[in-house]
Amino acid sequence: EDQVTQSPEALRLQEGESSSLNCSYTVSGLRGLFWYRQDPGKGPEFLFTLYSAGEEKEKERLKATLTKKESFLHITAPKPEDSATYLCAVQPPDSNYQLIWGAGTKLIIKP
Amino acid sequence: GAGVSQSPSNKVTEKGKDVELRCDPISGHTALYWYRQSLGQGLEFLIYFQGNSAPDKSGLPSDRFSAERTGGSVSTLTIQRTQQEDSAVYLCASSLGASSPLHFGNGTRLTVT
């Protein structure tokens, strides 16, 4: 069964302390990997799409990378407003629209 | 422009009652999804609409759940004879097409007492 696993479940960092979130998947030949950010009481907000191993995308303090079996979301010098749950989703090769979602990593940045 | 709108934002209902959840997608988005989100779990796919095609209902957990999309726009998710295990946040998302990024509403938090 295709699975998406995110780690850690929760991460507490001091403001300015860089780190990475992991999204590993068992899907072979994925069509795309998506990162979303979700604030409490809100719906997920799209961040990045990655399509092939070696690809990287950046937005402000966030950088997403992709290998054949996992993706990393690197957070550089985070600020308290980066606190949120970060969700990863994988689109398998046999579907145009289905996504397999990870359970998310809750990131807390302390000032 | 306006994003995806869901109503109500919160719904408390008694076990056995029927509920209707509404979703107004972004104008021009042909694809519409319903997901269910429970604490500590990934988003659970419920149903997918694409244009005038037959919807993919494969994620609906039981025949108590149904959804429709009228005129290719507004969608309603109906849960009949609600059970306590139906308590969750129900999220609606729309997109320009099947493989495009999803735009989510803020969800309806359903509590069945």
The per-residue pLDDT for B79 is: 98
Higher pLDDT, A27 or B101: B101
Name the residue among A45, A42, A26 with its Cα closest to residue A86. Answer: A45
Task: Measure A5 CA to nearest chain B CA, in Å.
Answer: 9
What pLDDT does B39 receive? Answer: 84
Chain B residues closer than 8 Å to A105 by CB: none
Residue B30 token pair: 């042909």
The one-digit pLDDT tens for each residue of chain B (113 residues) are 589 999 999 999 999 999 999 999 999 999 999 999 998 788 999 999 998 889 999 999 999 999 999 887 999 999 999 999 999 999 999 999 877 899 999 999 999 99
Query: Which of A34, A88, A97 to mutate to probe the B interface, most B CBs <10 Å?
Result: A97
- φ/ψ region of B40 (left if φ > 0, alpha if ψ in -120 to 50, else beta) reads left
The three-point CA angle B58-B75-A4 to 5° equals 40
Q: How far apart are CA B5 and CA B9, in angstroms?
A: 9
**Residue A91 pLDDT > 60, yes or no?**
yes
> What is the model's pLDDT at position B1?
57
Q: By CA distance, what is A39's nearest residue in B?
A: B106
pLDDT at position A108 is 98
